[in-house]
Amino acid sequence: MLSNYLSFEKPLGELLTRLLFYLFIIFTLWRGVETFVFYLTYFGENFGMALWGVLKTPVIVAVQLLILRVFAECVLAVLRLDKSHN
């Protein structure tokens, strides 16, 4: 049982994929919050750019999360295909 977690077999591949998926979600959200706060503090200097940044930041973060989800599902599908050939 312990050998399943110590070797790079398929169950560990799925576990690592899910772990990296959640870590990248946290990283993407963190970068989105940093960018949003940057644009909020930029309102006094350049209102147009700051307004555009505040409006586009949530959309960009949502698109990045969707792309991340599709990529993670593709990796998991490949791991499932490899498992079915055995």
Q: Angle, nearest 10°, between helix axes 10-41 and 47-84?
A: 180
DSSP state string for 1-21: -HHHHHS--HHHHHHHHHHHH
Express each pLDDT in 36-57 by its tens digit: 999 999 888 999 999 999 999 9
Average pLDDT, the chain: 85
Per-residue burial over 43-76, b = 16 or more CB atoms within 10 Å of its CB, e = otherwise? eeeeeeebeebbeebeeebeebeeebeeebeebe
CA 86 – CA 83 distance, rounded (Å): 6
- Is pLDDT above 80 for 12? no
- 21-30, 43-52, 77-86: segment of lowest average pLDDT: 77-86
- Hey, where are the domains in the chain? 8-84
Q: Percent of the chain at pLDDT above 70?
A: 81
pLDDT computed for residue 21 by the predictor: 92
